[in-house]
Chains A and B, each alone.
Chain A
Amino acid sequence: MPPSTVCTAKASYKKAPGLLELTDTHLQWSQDGKKAPSIRVPYAELASLFCSKEGAAQVRLKVGLVSDDAGHNFTFTSPQPVALSERETFKRELTNIIARNRSTAEPTTPKPVIATSPITPVSNGHPPPLRPSGAATPALPPPISRAASVVSSGGTPGPGGAVSASDFKLRKKVLVNNPELATLHRELVMTGQITEAEFWEGREHLLAAQAAADSQKRGRPGALVDPRPQTVEGGDIKIVITPQLVHDIFEEFPIVAKAYNENVPKPLNEADFWKRYFQSKLFHAHRASIRSSATQNVVKDDPIFDKYLEKEDNELEPRRQRDEEVEIFIDLGATQEDHDVTGNEKDITMQAGKQKGVLPLIRKFNEHSERLLKSALGEDGPTTKRRRIDDDASHLRDYYAQIDIEDLHDLQDTTGIILEMQDRQRYFEGGMKSAASEDASKHEIDIKVALREAKDNLHDWAGALSNLKLEKKAADASVVAMTQNVQARLTTKTRKNDIPEGLFRQMRTCQTAANEFLRQFWSSVYPPLSDLQSANPPTPAQKAAKAAKMAGYLAKTHEKVEALVRTAHAEGIDPERVRVAMKPLTDAVDQALTFHRTRKPVNAK
């Protein structure tokens, strides 16, 4: 069944003429003369919508996608009046779709009015930019990213076969965030020395961490809605309005939504509505900071908006009373009547409304925080978090339970595991006849002779002391040796690295590669780090094969190091320095290889 078309219009995309269609599932565009649409966007992908200004030379429409902010730009090619009405149709339909998308993305965020107005210019006839300017709309990105985290969960199998696209994305992200690992990856996997799967084996935790980080949802931004005017030439003020900003304003100030519903499209059209709003007293009452005073002179009396002006909320009692009952333990007034009896001084530091001017601001902040809190509580299943609080309140009146804070409990229950060392004697004195006498027994020492000799040695100690004399040769030799010891350490500290960069890089490459082989080798020999990752543990045969392969690679390390030494020699660097630098590596490789060799015969048996 061919999808039914909602509306169509002639429009060009990337300067190619074609037909823009809105079916009941997709927004699609096909170039003239081609049957299949070259752009097909499912409804769920649509995230934002921008239009050029009425009266502009070209009638354009831009759709932003969930996965791609840049989206697609269409230009309506019919003559102006027709194009405008066509665009209006598309705009209306798409706006509804986007609104639906958003409400599914944020299921619980209250939506008094959805952004029905796409883009509207304000103030003095400057053409609005097609893209929202970032500075003016700090609140724009979040809805997209919030939606993204929902959409991206459906990973599709990629062309790689075994590796799913989402896995691949994860790996790429890990590599991007970790340049050193990326280098290693480039040097080993891209050159085909080890396979992609081998490389990631034993690094699953990195992927898991990345996946966990990705799946975190970004919460609602906490900033107060406060459109910042940009001053443009000629002293005019420009505020860029995006659907997101409109949405936020409506949500933050329901009164504006009310005004919008009552006044648009009659008697005001959208552009005029916003223009007047931003010049009205109402807007300035809504501002979050004292910056408003600077623009005070712009404010005009406005018969339409002034009706919606509310009285300053600076009375002692807030205008909007909290509907909840204040819990007795946090109510400062609860003990007021006792103060006279106990002789407490009246609290003078916390007087509400001492400074009248700040009350509206404080209340605005409080209301804003409350809204944020509610939306945060709501997001996670409607009432789970809330219930926990309410539960306490319901079997309330048990005041003790309320002040019984778990953190303050004594740690009586968690005694932990007492370290009861069994058979202590064994640890401190056990194994008496071990290594100590081993060396001695070789020489068949008669302990009594030794003891007598020791005692003999003590006689006439004073004479020996007064005749003490160091051999010059011995003393000199030891001084030289010790000086060299100190010098060797000082020079490594002071001498700068004069190995040429090329050679140095080769050394590093050799080092990281061998390190990786070592890691692979030992991980194939030893058990995995934890039970968690062994979803499909490799069989012993596989592991043995891998160990052998890695041992093969490792065996070549000496050649590589020798090659480096030769290069160093050719470049006039002391080859010994390279050899010393690579010594720990060759030692480690030798250890692994020795291990591999000694293990083999037993395997064969």
Chain B
Amino acid sequence: MDKPSHISVILDLSPSQWHLSSLPENPHPLSLRSFLSQLLAFLNLHIASKHENTLAVFGAFPSKSVMLYSSTDPEADNTENVNPNMYHPFQVVDSRVVTRIEEELESLDQSEEEAPIGLVGALTKALCYINRIIHPSASQSSGTTSEDPTTLPDPRILVLSVSPDLSTSYIPIMNSIFSAQKLKVVIDVCKVYGPDTVFLEQAAHLTGGSYIYLDRRDALLQHLIMSHMPSPALRKLMTVPTQDKIDFRAACFCHKNIVDIGFVCSVCLSIFCAPVPVCSTCRTKFPIKTLQRLNASRPPGLKPANGALKTAPSTPHTRGPSTPR
């Protein structure tokens, strides 16, 4: 009954966001150093709480994503500076995660502007990884997973996010959410810094995970333990904190604006912020009459301006944040 659990942790490692997070004018500044030590404590907690628990860590860097650590694929650890005061497996995880982060940061492109964060890539890699470990084929005898389905781990993903929503990534994120639903993978989100992200809220909600907005950033570890430590199976018995309010709005495909009300292509379900004669995704031509009708009765004088855009619906898609009771 008590199945081992697997966590794929996704770390949002945007240097600029972490810089902002550590600025002293924040109510509770949190530096990357402090974040990492709390995170490592959490990771250690996870692998210590059950012998069969597995772990994978993915890093989302500007414009790239990499796997930092996976417990099914432990590399030959360098045993040179063994700390005798530390449980060895902890040390393996910790040193490996940090060293890999260092390497990746080192190789980062020194351009003037920070590239968008590779969160989607990390999410996709995490899903692929989970898909592999929960479907161990006979030919592939990789690591610790055994063929007995009862000992297959209960997988989940934990996203530790500091970057704001990237509206361009709406479609791939939604696709990842659907894959996660299909794999029955729970996505937990801990928003460590920055404004709430609409897409990750939806990701957590749609997969049955919990979304936490970190108010007391100095108590990150406390939040991680209370909200993200219990496995999905345990959460049936034990309520974990989450956010009640979820913003269900979507981003339009044409300008990547988050829209309250949009037009939906009847063929491919693409979302547009204004009626268009031809769907830009699937090239479906819409009847001119429909277009006229929609345009004619469109509320006049709404210039497509930044985010606060409103347009007539062919299908009232979503309207504002909703609060489930």
| Residues of A bordering B, CB below 8 Å | 417, 419-423, 427-440, 443, 445, 447-451, 453-455, 457-458, 461-462, 464-468, 470-471, 474-475, 477-479, 481-483, 485-486, 488-490, 492, 522, 525-528, 531, 534, 540, 543, 583-584, 587-588, 591, 595, 599, 602-603, 605
Which B residues touch A488, using CB under 8 A? 244
In the bound assembly, the distance between CA atoms of A597 and B225 in angstroms comes to 47
Contacts of B314 in A (CB 8 A): 527
How far is it, in angstroms, between the C-alpha of A602 and the C-alpha of B310 when the chains are bound? 14
Instruction: Report the bound CA distance from A528 to B297 in whole Å.
Output: 8
A132 to chain B, nearest CB (A): 53
30 contacts between A and B (CB under 8 A): A419-B281, A419-B282, A420-B282, A421-B282, A427-B281, A428-B172, A430-B256, A431-B167, A435-B164, A437-B116, A440-B114, A447-B16, A450-B16, A450-B114, A455-B105, A458-B32, A461-B40, A462-B94, A466-B85, A467-B37, A475-B219, A478-B216, A482-B223, A485-B241, A485-B242, A526-B312, A526-B313, A527-B312, A531-B293, A603-B300
Chain B residues near A451 (CB-CB < 8 A): 15, 105, 108, 110
The yes or no answer to B146 lying at the interface (CB within 8 A) is no
Please name the residue on chain B nearest to A525 by beta carbon.
B299
Instruction: Among B15, B28, B165, point to the contact of A447 (Cβ < 8 A).
Output: B15
- Residues in A with CB closer than 8 Å to B302 are 599, 602
Is the beta-carbon distance between B241 and A454 smaller than 8 angstroms?
Answer: no
Residues from 71 to 130 in B contacting A, C-beta threshold 8 Å: 83, 85, 94-95, 98, 101-102, 105-106, 108, 110-117
A477 proximity list for chain B (CB < 8 A): 216, 219
CB < 8 Å neighbour of B300 from A429, A448, A474, A602: A602
Contact A531:B219 (CB < 8 A) given known A454-B15, A464-B36, A584-B322: no
A492 and B242 alpha carbons, distance in the complex (Å): 15
- Having A453-B22, A462-B94, A482-B226, one finds 6 other A-B pairs with CB under 8 Å, namely A437-B113, A438-B164, A454-B18, A457-B31, A458-B101, A464-B34
**Among candidates A450, A453, A458, A595, residue contacting B98 with C-beta atoms closer than 8 Å:** A458
Q: Which residue of A lies closest to B117 (CB)?
A: A436
A450 with B218: CB separation less than 8 A: no
Q: With both chains docked as a complex, state the minimum distance between the C-beta of A537 and any C-beta of chain B, in angstroms.
A: 8
- In B170-185, the 8 Å CB interface with A consists of 171-172
How long is the Cα–Cα vector from A467 to B294 in the complex, in angstroms?
63
Would B20 and A443 count as touching, CB distance under 8 A?
Answer: yes
Tell whether, in the assembled complex, residue B37 and residue A464 are in contact, meaning their CB atoms are under 8 Å apart.
yes
Q: Is the CB of A470 within 8 A of B168?
A: no
Q: Is the CB of A445 within 8 A of B320?
A: no
Please give the distance in Å from A496's CB to the nearest CB on chain B.
15
Enumerate chain B residues within 8 angstroms of A421, measured Cβ to Cβ.
281-282
> Secondary structure at chain A's binding surface: helix, strand, loop or mixed?
helix
Q: Quick one: given A430-B168, A457-B32, A527-B293, are A482 and B283 in contact (CB under 8 Å)?
A: no
How does the 8 Å CB contact mask read for B11-36 relative to A, with 1 for contact and 0 for none? 00101111110110000100111101
**Residues in B neighbouring A605, C-beta threshold 8 A:** 301
Residues of B within 8 A of A481 (CB): 215-216, 241
A605 vs chain B, min Cβ distance (A): 7
| Cα–Cα, bound, A587→B281 (Å) | 34
CB atoms of A475 and B166 under 8 A apart = no
Rounded to whole Å, the gap between the CB of B267 and the closest CB of chain A is 6
A453, A492, A525 — which one has the most chain B CB atoms within 10 A of its CB?
A453
Contact B41 A490 (CB under 8 A): no
Task: Tell which of B85, B216, B281, B284 has the most Cβ of chain A within 10 Å.
Answer: B216
The minimal Cβ–Cβ distance linking B284 to chain A, given in whole angstroms, is: 7
Whether A422 contacts B280 in the complex (CB less than 8 A), given A427-B171, A489-B244, comes out as yes
- Shortest distance from the beta carbon of B63 to any chain A beta carbon, whole Å: 9
Are B301 and A450 within 8 A (Cβ)?
A: no
A420 to B254, CA, bound (A): 16
Chain B contacts with A in 272-325, Cβ cutoff 8 A: 280-284, 289-290, 293-294, 296-302, 310, 312-314, 316, 319-320, 322-323, 325
Which A residue's beta carbon lies closest to that of B289? Answer: A531
Are B168 and A431 interface neighbours, CB within 8 A? yes
Check if B207 is an interface residue, CB within 8 A of chain A.
Answer: no
- Distance (whole angstroms) from the CB of B42 to the closest CB of chain A: 11
Most chain A CB inside 10 Å of its own CB: which residue of B19, B244, B312: B19
B58 in contact (CB, < 8 A): no
Q: Which residues of A contact B40 (CB under 8 A)?
A: 461, 465
Q: Which residue of B lies closest to A453 (CB)?
A: B19
B194 interface residue (CB < 8 Å to A): yes
Closest to B108 in A: A451
The residue of chain B having its C-beta at the shortest distance from the C-beta of A427 within the complex is B171
**Docked complex Cα distance between A435 and B199 (Å):** 14
Q: Which residues of B contact A485 (CB under 8 A)?
A: 241-242
- B163: CB under 8 A from chain A? yes
CA distance A455 to B222 in the complex (A): 25
| Docked complex Cα distance between A437 and B16 (Å) | 9
- Which of A457, A474, A475 has the most chain B CB atoms inside 10 A of its CB? A457
- For the complex, what is the distance from the CA of A470 to the CA of B281, rounded to whole Å? 50
B297 and A436 contacting across the interface, CB-CB below 8 Å? no
Query: A287 CA to B227 CA in the complex, in Å?
Result: 73
Bound-state CA distance A417–B282 (Å) is 9
Q: How far is the CB of B277 from chain A (nearest CB, A)?
A: 14
A436 CB, nearest partner CB in chain B, Å? 4
The residues of B that contact A467 with a CB separation of less than 8 Å are: 37
Q: Is the CB of B20 within 8 A of A461?
A: no
| 8 Å CB contact of A422 from B165, B281, B320 | B281
Q: Which of B137-169 contact A (CB under 8 A)?
A: 163-168
Q: Say how far A60's CB is from chain B's closest CB, in angstroms.
A: 63
Contact A445 B37 (CB under 8 A): no
Chain A min CB distance to B43 (Å) = 11
* Chain A residues, CB < 8 A from B114: 436-437, 440, 445, 447, 450
Please, how many angstroms separate the alpha-carbon atoms of A475 and B226 in the complex? 11
Distance in angstroms from A183 CB to nearest chain B CB is 21
Q: Which 7 A-B pairs have the closest CB atoms?
A: A602-B301, A527-B297, A450-B19, A457-B32, A478-B219, A474-B219, A457-B33
